[in-house]
Amino acid sequence: MNFNKYLVENKIDLSFSILFSFLSSIPFMGIIFYLGIIIDSLYISIASNSFNNEVILAQILIFVLIILLEYILSILYQLFSARFNSKTSKNIRTSVFKALQEKSHKYYDEENTGDIVAKSTSDLVNINNFFYVLSAQGGLMIGLFVFILGPLFYIDFVLGFIALSSLPILISSLIFFEKKYNPIELSSREKYGKVSARVAESIDNSILTKIFNSETHNMSKLKLLMDDLKLTNILKNKKQAILSIQDKIILSVIYSLILFTGGIKVINNQITIGELVTSLLMIQYLIYPIMFLIQIVVFRASYKAAEKRLANILEHPPHVLNPGNGNKFNHTMRGEIKFADVSFGYNNKLVIKNINIQIEANSTVALLGASGSGKSALINLIPRFYDVDSGSIFIDEVDITELDLPSLRRKIGFIDQETFLFSKSIKENIAFGNPEAGMEKIIEVAKISQIHQFIEELPEKYDTVIGERGVTLSGGQRQRLSIARALLLDPKIIIFDDSLSAVDIKTEHKIQSVLEVLLKDRTVIFITQRLSTVLNTDKIIILAKGEIVEIGRHETLIKTNGIYRDLFETQIDGLMDLSRIELGRKGI
């Protein structure tokens, strides 16, 4: 992963920030240099007992001017760096958000929400901190370095050499440190992500915790993760402290050496006392670039960790790719679907095995099968939430991987088995696929889904904001809203994944009779557990363990003494007949 492009995007702010930061080191060192000059004048005056007031006054005036110059330059670089920093952090956030939108379902199956949130908030901050110190302080520190060593050599070669000799030692200590420190930082971030993920789950699952009195259990799981994080962080801080004491001791040695050598030189009249004071002050200031280097190394470790952690968001292309110039259905879609030798699995475990189905345009197909038989997996392949492992799916005889992905999805009304609503108003939720839809259209689909009346009874009607994930609605209300949401797209293909499981029979019946007209010229695939709804379908498909075990119309299937018939009888009347259950389980 490379974040350099964000640096380039804001290169003007960045360059000015570094430039002014660098320039500000000149007056910064000027101040110290001038102090030495003034002290020398003072010394000469004292020694010769004759004060040249004008010269000293002029020197002090220049001193003040340098101070003001430094102030102005620091304001300038801080301003540019503030803008650079706020802008890049905004841009990176946008990229991460956009990338998350493009991620396919496989990604979300494997990641934890809380960890993604940690990555896209606090790891982003770490990237930014690194950029910030570089942009704001980098120039200044380089400048300090140059302007400390330069004058030192100018004052005296030996003094300069002593100061310079610290450099290789310091740098090698940093390199050594970095090697050890970076993995610790990464593991600290990973552990932080785990804590965050567990925290998110605990909040989400609050009601479960209440019902099962499982606070203690949950807290002990959290505690385990937190203990781990704490220990890693302490270790991390220890390493930092060791590095900083190492480097400080090196500096102390240098300082004393310069004091000694410089002192002797003053005694021998090789340099002036003012020059020595200047040198000492400069060595004291050398601590800044050194501390800066330490800081950079530490921040870079967080940056590297963030880079690694964000890589699977920003770098890996989505599993499901939109073809470059895919077919956009400029002609109208007929809605014929064909599965040809389709196999699909999660993590190498096949759940769809070599399936062949032909679904005619405008026909209605029911999909039956035990839980886990692969029904949802099969229909998830049509809007390409996942891509097949082998075989192909054709719509109107075009392979769906050659279709423009957004156009494909817009033509499909997909009502998922698990309803998800956003904490927006009911209106916005229904119009989710087409925010421009008019109110009449929204009301129309709400009426079809038998949810209009309920909405009208709410105090704020269609403007009622529903809780996160729709918590303030009952299960059936949510399902009906999600049906309305799909119908609003006016899709050619509609897929219901057991979307009426929480809806009562009466309402279900009403919805069905209204839908009947609407669905006439559309292709419909629906999964259900209620057999009463499959009677009039054009085709019934029964899946078992990822394979088709029966296929046909009700009339034919009921006559063959097969699984369908068993199923049917089970639900109609065989409530207590164990023998029949046994029979049925053999098949499914």
Ligand X SMILES: Nc1ncnc2c1ncn2[C@@H]1O[C@H](COP(=O)(O)OP(=O)(O)O)[C@@H](O)[C@H]1O
Query: Residue 481 CB, nearest distance to Mg ion (Å)?
Result: 14
| CB closer to other proteins out of 113 and 341 | 113
CA separation for the pair 437, 427 (Å, rounded): 10
* Coil/strand/helix, residue 577: coil
- Beta bridge pairs of residue 425: 465
User: Considering the complex, what minimum distance in angstroms separates the CB of residue 475 from Mg ion?
Assistant: 5
Using CB under 8 A as the binding rule, whether residue 18 contacts other proteins is answered as no
User: CB of residue 108 vs ligand X: minimum separation in angstroms?
Assistant: 9
Question: Pick from 149, 167, 169, 226: which binds other proteins (CB under 8 A)?
Answer: 226
> Scanning residues 535 to 554, which ones bind other proteins (CB under 8 A)?
535
Q: To the nearest 10°, the Cα dihedral for 316, 320, 322, 323? A: 100
- Is 55 a binding residue for other proteins by CB under 8 A? The answer is no
Tell me: does residue 154 bind ligand X (CB under 6 A). no
Q: Considering the complex, state which of residue 173 and residue 477 has its C-beta at the smaller distance from ligand X.
A: 477
- How many other CB atoms are found less than 10 A from the CB of residue 175? 10
Q: Which helix (H) or strand (E) holds 59?
A: helix 53-102
Distances (CA, A) of 149 to 103, 143, 156: 52, 10, 10
**Interface region with ligand X, contact rule CB under 6 A, candidates 334-342, 343-351, 355-363, 552-560:** 343-351
Distance CA 65, CA 59 (A): 10
102 touches other proteins by CB under 8 A: yes
Nearer to other proteins, 64 or 311 (CB): 64
The binder of other proteins chosen from 150, 183, 323, 467 (CB under 8 A): 467
| Contact partner, 289, from ligand X, Mg ion, other proteins, none, Cβ < 5-8 Å per class | none
552 strand-pairing partners: 540
User: For residue 186, how many C-alpha atoms fall within 13 Å in the half-sphere facing its CB?
Assistant: 12
- 374 near ligand X, rule: CB under 6 A: yes
Between 193 and 546, name the residue whose CB sits nearer to ligand X: 546
Which listed option, Mg ion, other proteins, ligand X, none, makes contact with residue 189 (CB within 5 to 8 Å by class)?
none
Based on the shown chain and the rule CB under 6 A, indicate whether residue 351 belongs to the binding site for ligand X: yes
Closest-CB residue for Mg ion?
376
The separation between CA 365 and the C-alpha centre of its own chain, rounded to angstroms, equals: 39
Binding status of residue 513 toward other proteins by CB under 8 A: no
Structure tokens at 387: 């891509």
Selected from 26, 158, 159, 280, the binder of other proteins by CB under 8 A is: 280
Specify whether the CB–CB gap between 564 and 557 falls below 8 A: yes
Residues that contact ligand X, how many (by CB under 6 A) = 19
| CB of residue 128 to ligand X, shortest distance in Å | 34
In this structure, what DSSP letter does residue 384 have? T
Q: Is residue 509 a contact point for other proteins (CB under 8 A)?
A: yes
Task: Find the angle CA(424)-CA(429)-CA(434) to the nearest 5 degrees.
Answer: 125
Q: With respect to other proteins, which residue has the nearer C-beta, 347 or 397? A: 347
Rounded-to-integer distance, Cα 320 and Cα 132, Å:
36
Q: Is 377 in the site for ligand X (CB under 6 A)?
A: yes
Of residues 435-454, those binding other proteins (CB under 8 A): 435, 454
Interface residue with ligand X, options 369, 413, 470, 491 (CB under 6 A): 369
Binding-site ranges for Mg ion (CB under 5 A)? 376, 417, 474-475
Binding track over 89-118 against ligand X, x by CB under 6 A:
--------------------x---------
Amino acid at 424: K
Beta bridge partner(s), residue 496: 415, 526
| Phi, psi (rounded to 5 degrees) for 32 | -65, -40
Q: Give the angle 200-206-210 at the CA atoms, nearest 5°.
A: 150
Distance CA 492, CA 247 (A): 70
**Stretch of 81-89, 160-168, 297-305, 328-336 contacting other proteins, by CB under 8 A:** 81-89
Burial of 558 (C-beta count, 10 Å sphere; 0-12/13-18/19+): middle
CB under 8 A: which stretch of 202-210, 304-312, 391-399, 517-525 binds other proteins?
Answer: 202-210
Q: H/E element holding 483?
A: helix 475-487
**How many Å is the Cα radius of gyration of the chain?**
36
Cα distance between residue 209 and residue 228, in whole Å: 23
Out of 8, 48, 54, 101, point to the residue binding other proteins (CB under 8 A): 101
Tokens matching residue 43: 């010394």
**Please, what is the minimum distance in Å from the beta carbon of residue 554 to other proteins?**
9
Binding partner at 363 among ligand X, Mg ion, other proteins, none, C-beta below 5 to 8 Å by kind: none
Under rule CB under 8 A, residue 501 binds other proteins: yes
Is residue 118 within the footprint of other proteins (CB under 8 A)?
yes
String marking each residue 454-493 x if it binds ligand X according to CB under 6 A: -----------------xxxxxxx----------------
Smaller CB separation from ligand X, 106 or 308: 106
Q: Which is nearer to Mg ion, 390 or 474 (CB)?
A: 474
For the beta carbon of residue 401, count every other beta carbon within 10 angstroms: 17
| The binder of other proteins chosen from 420, 439, 460, 461 (CB under 8 A) | 420
Query: d(Cα 444, Cα 439) in Å, to the nearest integer?
Result: 8
**Shortest distance, CB of residue 403 to other proteins, whole angstroms?**
13
Figure out which of the listed residues 4, 332, 371, 579 binds ligand X, where binding follows CB under 6 A. Answer: 371
CB of 507 to Mg ion, least distance (A): 13
Q: Which stretches of 400-524 are DSSP H helices?
A: 405-410, 426-430, 439-448, 452-457, 475-487, 505-519
Cα–Cα distance between 523 and 518 in angstroms, integer? 11
Q: What is the spatial distance between Cα 541 and Cα 370, in angstroms, rounded to a whole number?
A: 12
How near is the Cβ of 498 to Mg ion at its closest, in Å? 6
DSSP character string of 533-559: GSTT-SEEEEEETTEEEEEE-HHHHHH
Interaction of residue 346 with ligand X, rule CB under 6 A: yes
User: Does 277 participate in binding other proteins (rule CB under 8 A)?
Assistant: yes
Q: Does 245 sit near other proteins (CB under 8 A)? A: yes
- The option from Mg ion, ligand X, other proteins, none interacting with 192 (CB < 5 to 8 A, set by class) reads other proteins
The residues, ordered by sequence, that sit 6+ positions from 125 with a Cβ below 8 Å of its Cβ are 89
Stretch that binds other proteins, among 217-225, 394-402, 439-447, 516-524 (CB under 8 A): 217-225
Q: Is 451 exposed, middle or buried (0-12, 13-18, 19+ CB in 10 A)?
A: buried
Query: Are 164 and 46 contacting, i.e. CB atoms less than 8 angstroms apart?
Result: no
Binding residues (CB under 6 A) for ligand X: these are 109, 346-347, 351, 369, 371-377, 471-477
